[in-house]
């Protein structure tokens, strides 16, 4: 049995080879009318004895794949069950049924380079997203991360674990002699964490005799830091921080207060 296909445009019949059809995805070009068509769509099997080859004009070498037009009697074109071997065959001489261009596979080193670039991009994104967490797990890499962020135009925030901060002591006093309208709040904040933390905000509530809130204000680090601590951007691990707040309470009749820590 032989495999043949025919051009749907000019009905020229060609003998084909299964391995070359498979290698080209079935796309072939008619050597007679130059139309490109799918050889699988018109593929049939016929008996070898039914094929009439045109007389050669000159001696030809035997080729594994013969794309010359052939003639088959009409009664031999009845469709036969397709039964052929798809196993790889030795490559034959290029013929006019198939396009000369063969798709080239990307070289392995190029795929390796692309994978390395993608991996580096992924590592960079993860580092940027978890930069604060990385400084907690590996404190020594903070300088490198800060340098990396300066290049990207970002910063490395300090952790904000409010549950690991506490107010150790606090005191609210008035200076009745020198400045009776000014009230001073002094307090000590302790960082229980084994890593540095961002400076919290302080929420001060003034209470009346019935412990109802009569005034409330939130102070930032620049409001409560002592002069010698103004340039400290964080609270040191397992360390205390002394703070001071001065505010005008002349219009308030507060008898109590409540002091809270928070991250806005």
Region 127-141: mean pLDDT is 89
Domain endpoint, select from 76, 98, 131: 76
pLDDT tens-digit profile of 208-259? 888 899 999 999 998 999 887 778 889 999 999 999 988 887 777 888 899 9
Q: Tell me which residue range forms the domain holding 221.
A: 162-262
Region 136-143: mean pLDDT is 90
Alpha carbons 186 and 173: distance in angstroms, whole number = 8
Token pair recorded at residue 56: 């050669």
Instruction: Give the predicted TM-score (pTM) of the model.
Output: 0.52
Residue 96 lies in a domain: no
Is residue 116 located within the same domain as residue 66?
no
Which of these, 186, 178, 176, 185, lies nearest to 242 by C-alpha position? 186
Domain endpoint, select from 91, 125, 152: 152
Residue 90 lies in a domain: no
Residue 94 lies in a domain: no
More confident residue, 205 or 180: 205
What pLDDT does residue 42 have? Answer: 78
What pLDDT does residue 254 have? Answer: 83
Alpha carbons 186 and 175: distance in angstroms, whole number = 13
SS3 letters for the chain? CEEEEECCCCCCEEECCHHHHHHCCCEEECCCCCCEEECCCCCEEECHHHCECCCCCCCCCCCCCCCCEEECCHHHCCCCCCCCCCCCCCCCCCCCCCCCCCCCCCCHHHHHHHHHHHHHHHHHHHHHHCHHHHHHHCHHHHHHHHHHHHHHCCCCCCCCCHHHEEEEEEEEEEECCCEEEEEEEEEEEEECCCCCEECCEEEEEEECCCCCEEEEEEECHHHHECHHHCCCCEECCCCEEEEEEEEECCCCCCCEEEEEEECC
Instruction: Write down the mean pLDDT value for the chain.
Output: 78
pLDDT tens-digit profile of 3-14? 788 788 887 877
Token pair recorded at residue 247: 């505010």
Alpha carbons 194 and 208: distance in angstroms, whole number = 38
Domain endpoint, select from 152, 187, 205: 152
Q: How many domains does the chain contain in total?
A: 3
Region 196-210: mean pLDDT is 93
For residue 52, what pLDDT band results from cuts at 50, 70 and 90? low
């Amino acid at each position: 049995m032989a495999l043949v296909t025919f051009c749907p445009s000019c009905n020229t019949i060609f003998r084909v080879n299964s391995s070359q059809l498979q290698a080209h995805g079935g796309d072939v070009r008619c050597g007679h009318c130059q139309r490109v068509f799918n050889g699988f769509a018109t593929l049939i099997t016929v008996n070898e004895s039914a094929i009439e080859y045109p007389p050669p004009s000159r001696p030809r070498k035997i080729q594994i794949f013969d794309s010359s037009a052939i003639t088959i009697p009409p009664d031999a074109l009845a469709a036969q069950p397709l039964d052929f071997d798809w196993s790889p065959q030795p490559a034959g001489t290029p013929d006019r049924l198939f396009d000369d261009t063969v798709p080239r596979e990307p070289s392995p080193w190029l795929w390796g380079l692309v994978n390395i670039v993608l991996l580096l991009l992924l590592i960079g994104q993860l580092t940027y997203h978890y930069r604060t967490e990385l400084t907690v797990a590996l404190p020594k890499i903070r300088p490198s991360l800060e340098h990396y962020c300066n290049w990207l135009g970002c910063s490395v925030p300090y952790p904000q674990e409010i549950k690991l901060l506490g107010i150790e002591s606090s005191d609210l006093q008035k200076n009745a002699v020198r400045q009776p309208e000014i009230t001073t709040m002094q307090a000590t904040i302790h960082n229980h964490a084994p890593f540095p933390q961002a400076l919290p905000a302080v929420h001060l509530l003034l209470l009346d005799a019935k412990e109802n809130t009569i005034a409330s204000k939130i102070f930032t680090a620049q409001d409560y830091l002592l002069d010698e601590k103004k340039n400290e951007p964080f609270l040191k691990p397992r360390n205390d921080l002394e703070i001071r707040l001065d505010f005008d309470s002349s219009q308030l009749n507060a008898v109590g207060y409540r002091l809270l820590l928070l991250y806005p």
